[in-house]
Amino acid sequence: MTEAELEVVGDKIVNVIKTIYDPEIPVDIYELGLIYDVFVNEDNDAKILMTLTSPNCPVAESLPREVEDKVMSLKEINNAEVEITFDPTWTQEMMSEEAKLELGML
């Protein structure tokens, strides 16, 4: 894939991730700042580096699986893997302006 094609696929991944909401906060996980990075290689394999709002998050098991499943639903993607990290630790400052506005923080 060309650089431009990889960028289009990356945008599609972000758009599908934006359909996934944190169960406790009415904001999607991308706008919450839980997605740290999205990688797509030339084999159309995706890797998503993400975090959770806390290590004890009630969806620690199901949320990464949901992200993988939704990303793999894209016809351009052969495989998807989510890696969870707590470095850096998620803070409310990582939320987009849109998320802060939605939550009444602005």
Round to whole Å and give the CA distance between 50 and 94.
12
Whole-Å CA distances, 46 to 62, 73, 93 = 18, 12, 26
The whole-number average pLDDT for the span 37-41 is 94
Residue 42 — very low, low, confident or very high, per pLDDT cuts 50/70/90? Answer: confident
The whole-number average pLDDT for the span 90-104 is 93
1 has pLDDT over 80: no
Q: Greater confidence, 59 or 18?
A: 18
Q: Are 72 and 44 in contact (CB under 8 A)?
A: no
pTM for the whole structure:
0.91
Round to whole Å and give the CA distance between 91 and 12.
26
| pLDDT, position 7 | 86
Share above pLDDT 90 across residues of the chain, in percent, rounded to a whole number? 74
pLDDT, tens digit (0-9, with 9 covering 90-100), for 53-62:
888 888 888 9
Round to whole Å and give the CA distance between 60 and 87.
16
Domains and CATH numbers, the chain: 3-89 (3.30.300.130)
| pLDDT, position 54 | 86
